[in-house]
Amino acid sequence: MDVAAPPPDFVTMLHQQQGLLRRVCRLYCHDADDRQDLFQEMVLQLWRAYPRYVPQPGAKLSTWLYRIALNVAISNLRQRSRRPAANELDAEALAVAQAADTGPDAEDRAALYQAIARLSDVDKAFVLLYLEDRSYEEMADILGITQNNVRVKMHRIQEKLRQLFARC
Partner 1 sequence: MELDDLRRQWQQPEAAPPPLTPDQLTALLSQRSNGLVDKMRRNARYEVLFTAVVAMAMPILLPFAHNFLQRAQAMSLLLLALLMLGYYYRKLALLHRMAEPAGHVRGSLQQLGAGLRGLLQFNYRLTLAMVPASLLLIYGVTVGGELLRPGGARLKLLLILGLALLATGLLLHWAAAKATRWYLQRLYGQHLDRLEGLLRELDEAGE
Taking Cα atoms as reference points, which of 112, 15, 128 lies closest to residue 70? Answer: 128
Cα–Cα separations (whole angstroms), residue 129 to 2, 79, 122: 35, 25, 11
CB 105 within 8 A of CB 113: no
CB 110 within 8 A of CB 96: yes
Minimum distance of partner 1 from residue 40's CB (angstroms)? 6
Segment 78-137, which members bind partner 1 (CB under 8 A)? 78-80, 100-101, 105, 108-109, 111-113, 120-123, 125, 127, 130-133
Interface contacts to partner 1, rule CB under 8 A? 1-3, 5-6, 11, 14-15, 18-19, 22-23, 37, 40-41, 43-45, 47-49, 52-53, 64, 67-68, 70-72, 74-80, 100-101, 105, 108-109, 111-113, 120-123, 125, 127, 130-133, 141-146, 149-150, 152-153, 156, 158, 161-162, 165
